[in-house]
Amino acid sequence: MPKELADLAPQLLQKERATATFKTEACVDLVLGSKAWQARMDELRSLIEAHPVLSDRDMMYRNHKERYEVALAKSHAFVSFLEDHNITTPDEQQFVYYQLGEPLPIDVHRSMFIPTLETQMDDEQRAYWLPLARKAKILGAYAQTELGHGSNVQGIETTAIYDATTQEFVLHSPTLTSRKWWPGGLGKTANHAIVHARLHLGGKDRGVQAFLVPLRDMQTHAPLAGVSIGDIGPKIGFQSVDNGYCAFDHVRIPRRHMLMRFAKVLPNGDFVKPPTDKLVYFTMVRVRVFISYVCYRYMAFVVTIATRFSAARLQGYARGSKTDEVPVLAYENQQLTLFPLIGLSYAAMFTSRRLTSIYDSMVSALGGPMDAHKLDMLNQLHATSSGLKALLTTEVGNGMERARRACGGHGFSASSNIPHLMQEFIGACTYEGTFDVLVQQHGASLLKRLHKPTPSSSSSMDLFAYMRVDASSPCDAMTPEMLLEPSTLLRAFQVRALKTLLVADRHKASMHCISRASMGHAESVILQCFYDGVVAIHDTALRHAMRQLWQLYALWRMSEHLGEFRMDDYLSATQATWVTDGLLSLLPQLRPNAIALVDGFGLTDFELNSAIGRYDGDIYRALVARAAKEPLNQTDVVDGYHKYLQPILASKL
């Protein structure tokens, strides 16, 4: 007698898992780190799963107000949890935060407010304010974006006029559109904010600077005089966060509330310029670097759910059979949808690690004087992180939707957790810079560098090395196998990046051409970071499988923009056909490792919170159990039946 589908699904997933050519444990070690750290994560996760507040996963049943109130309770429980268990290291604190399943109202306090105090305040300011912020004695927001201006920071309208007679700045919102709009935690949670405003000294505009501004009374939490503040309302995602607005009516703050590590205003009103204007945006650079990790994490979550579901889900019959159903993962189109997204996840992971390493080095360098080398590091990271943020958020956002569709109707259900993950991620495509703005910033920097090249560098800081590649000769691959060689693929992406930049240089007024140059450079950086990560893998079997994934990812990206690789016949017509041929030939080679590669992310069922992405493959019973929790199903007769449905049934239509 045939097995029931409910019983067969777990066996199908286990069957796929058993075909792996490498030990999943080796991949988990690569992703998560040492055994000691993994054991610590397991210990902390067990405590969270047993916690009555932090373990809550019922956000799908709540509206904005309810989710915010629960998130406040989680915020309190989170801080108490850290204190109770003496969790003081940033890595452990961040791990605990990630287990909560949704962002909290104190997210920006942790991710932007405190880091800005660390990097933008002078020693005296840090000594006073940082302990208060780290111990949550004050709660902060990062108020840069305004109703009328977001990515264009130079368009900010809020003013800070210095009054030398009182040694105070007067913060003011002169127009309707100058009110701060969107900052997370600003609406109802924060009692302080880092406010970006145009500094006016003696009638002269000194550009946008950062100020620490009290917002609410520290005893009553009521808004201070001159401060109009509130929540902007429901959004696609981040319903647990009070994204807010704030307007200032001639609010006075002390001179020392300007963040003065770099730019300074002396008591007499004299202005000390910073070494570079980009330093005031250092927090934005940090966030853009961090977003590369967010891209990895969310893509890994969704592709793990979709790949496991595809292995456990039978749909359709094998060719020539009317009885033998096949797993969805057996279909070539399903593989062509999901396998590149697995590659995208690892590509974002390795890229995030490289960017974070560069950022950390730069933070360390800020301790001394800003020489030409340090400024060049900052310029490289500012430009490249802008382009990578634009590309990765776009590709991950699109990839999540493709993965959702690959799950059919069950991907549309909140029980899959894919809709929730998409809602929480998709804002990354616009916050901290929209695509069109970021690629223009990135492209402009690339064009400037093209005409004023800097000496070559062998360090990991050299993100513009592709500008020195010889793009005059065509691809020398003589066979399809030669095209798959790492040196061939890496050079192809460098040449494509340089050629698109040269086109942009000829058409400086074309946003489209500049956008393509930005994307070309970003993809070249990602591919190099991914490859460097692969060759550093010690486990031979894992390195071989990951190399195949890298090749597939490279060919996928190449096939998506094949015309740019054909420019000036860099790839011949014959070589172009090898791209598709190679991509399709790698699918069956990666199929045995598909489940092992997503298992390798080390994500637990508690983290995934998905009925269809369970490790054991028991998807159908999990879906039925989730449906039983639906509030509408807690009564057999819906509350509105007698008031609404019964009269309809009794009507004489």
Q: What residues are labeled active site?
A: 432
Residue 448 has a CB neighbour count (10 Å cut-off) of 11
Q: Using CA atoms, how far apart are residues 87 and 134, in angstroms rounded to an integer?
A: 13
The DSSP bridge pattern shows strands 180-181 and 244-248 to be: antiparallel
Q: Using CA atoms, how far apart are residues 116 and 437, in angstroms rounded to an integer?
A: 23
Q: Using CA atoms, how far apart are residues 15 and 18, in angstroms rounded to an integer?
A: 5
Angle at which helices 486-506 and 540-560 cross, to 10°: 30
Q: Using CA atoms, how far apart are residues 313 and 551, in angstroms rounded to an integer?
A: 28
The DSSP bridge pattern shows strands 264-265 and 271-272 to be: antiparallel
Asked if 171 and 211 touch (Cβ cutoff 8 Å), the reply is yes
- From first CA to last CA, the distance across the chain in angstroms is 51
Residue with tokens 């590709």: 395
Q: What are the b/e assignments for 569-582, b being 16+ CB within 10 Å?
A: ebbeeebbebbeeb
Per residue, the 3-state secondary structure of 409-432, as one string, reads HHHHCHHHCHHHHHHHHHHHHCCC
Local structure of residue 632 (DSSP, 8 states) = G
- The answer to whether 145 is a known ligand-binding residue is yes
Amino acid at 56: D
Token pair for 423: 């809602």
Q: Using CA atoms, how far apart are residues 531 and 539, in angstroms rounded to an integer?
A: 15
Residue with tokens 């300074």: 264
Is residue 578 within a helix (H) or strand (E), and if so which, with residue range? helix 573-590
- The answer to whether 320 is a known ligand-binding residue is no
Token pair for 300: 């890994």
Whole-number Cα distances in Å, 493 to 193, 395, 435:
43, 17, 21
Amino acid at 356: T
Radius of gyration (C-alpha) of the chain in whole angstroms: 27
Which residues sit in the known binding site for FAD? 145, 184
